[in-house]
């Protein structure tokens, strides 16, 4: 039998008290109403950032250089960047080569801020302009804190080197968290360095306790 759990209900600018159902572990029974992520977007803490200039892929595992770096400029104890999605776009392909590629990412240790890149864009998910301290830059030096592949692009052979190829996306759902003063590093690994890529991420800025 379900036990009653007291909850606060927000209706506009007014709060009410209600009850919800839960089990013996205090796990609440939920029937979802709005789509996932709606509340984070409504609060204005959902953002996406991407590079608009392509960087050559690597033919080895990434290490001390990121093709794209997203640095959390909040002071220690401030909001973290909770990564929701990663994406890579294969801008220039290689004629006659099977253009499979993989997208790699890492969260670095605390580091100095990179010089702000001119060839990046940051956009909100509800039409708001970004005014926070996150800095994104291309071709930066980072600490190798452990790179891992997060996505793979489709394998295909193209007839022209200038034909844009596919994209790869990873639904991260918070499995990467960038603490204040740390960075998310991204890179692509491809069959040759002739393949070039733009890349980016969607994230939520949220004050959380990191243990």
Q: What is the model's pLDDT at position 207?
A: 95
From first to last of the 211 residues of the chain, give the pLDDT tens digit: 555 667 777 666 677 777 777 777 877 777 778 888 999 999 999 999 999 999 999 999 999 999 999 999 999 999 999 999 999 998 877 665 555 789 999 999 999 999 987 788 899 999 989 999 999 999 999 999 999 999 987 655 555 555 566 788 999 999 999 999 999 999 999 888 888 899 999 999 999 999 8
Query: How far is the C-alpha of 144 from the C-alpha of 158, rounded, in Å?
Result: 33
Query: How far is the C-alpha of 57 from the C-alpha of 51, rounded, in Å?
Result: 14
Are the CB atoms for 163 and 96 separated by under 8 Å? no
Cα dist from 173 to 91, 120, 177, whole Å: 26, 23, 10
DSSP letters for 27-93 = PBP----SPTTHHHHHTT-EEEEEESS-EEPBSS---SEEEEEEE--SPTTS-EEEEEEEEEEEEE-
Query: How far is the C-alpha of 155 from the C-alpha of 195, rounded, in Å?
Result: 13
Q: What is the model's pLDDT at position 176?
A: 98
Q: What is the model's pLDDT at position 34?
A: 86
């Amino acid at each position: 039998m379900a036990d009653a759990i007291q909850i606060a209900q927000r209706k506009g600018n007014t709060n009410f008290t209600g009850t919800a159902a839960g089990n013996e572990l205090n796990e609440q029974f939920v029937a979802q109403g709005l789509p996932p992520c709606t509340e984070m977007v409504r609060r204005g803490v959902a953002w996406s950032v991407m590079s608009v200039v392509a960087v050559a892929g690597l033919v080895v595992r990434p290490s001390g250089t990121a093709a794209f770096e997203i640095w959390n400029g909040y002071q220690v104890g401030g909001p973290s960047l909770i990564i929701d999605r990663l994406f890579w776009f294969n801008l220039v392909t290689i004629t006659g080569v099977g253009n499979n590629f993989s997208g790699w990412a890492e969260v670095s240790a605390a580091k100095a801020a990179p010089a702000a890149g001119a060839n990046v864009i940051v956009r909100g998910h509800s039409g708001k302009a970004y005014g926070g301290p996150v800095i994104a830059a291309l071709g930066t030096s980072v600490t190798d804190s452990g790179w891992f592949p997060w996505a793979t692009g489709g394998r295909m052979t193209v007839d022209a080197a200038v034909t844009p190829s596919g994209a790869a996306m990873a639904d991260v759902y918070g499995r990467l968290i960038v603490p204040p003063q740390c960075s998310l590093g991204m890179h692509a690994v491809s069959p040759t360095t002739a393949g070039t890529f733009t890349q980016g991420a969607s994230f939520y800025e949220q004050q959380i306790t990191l243990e």
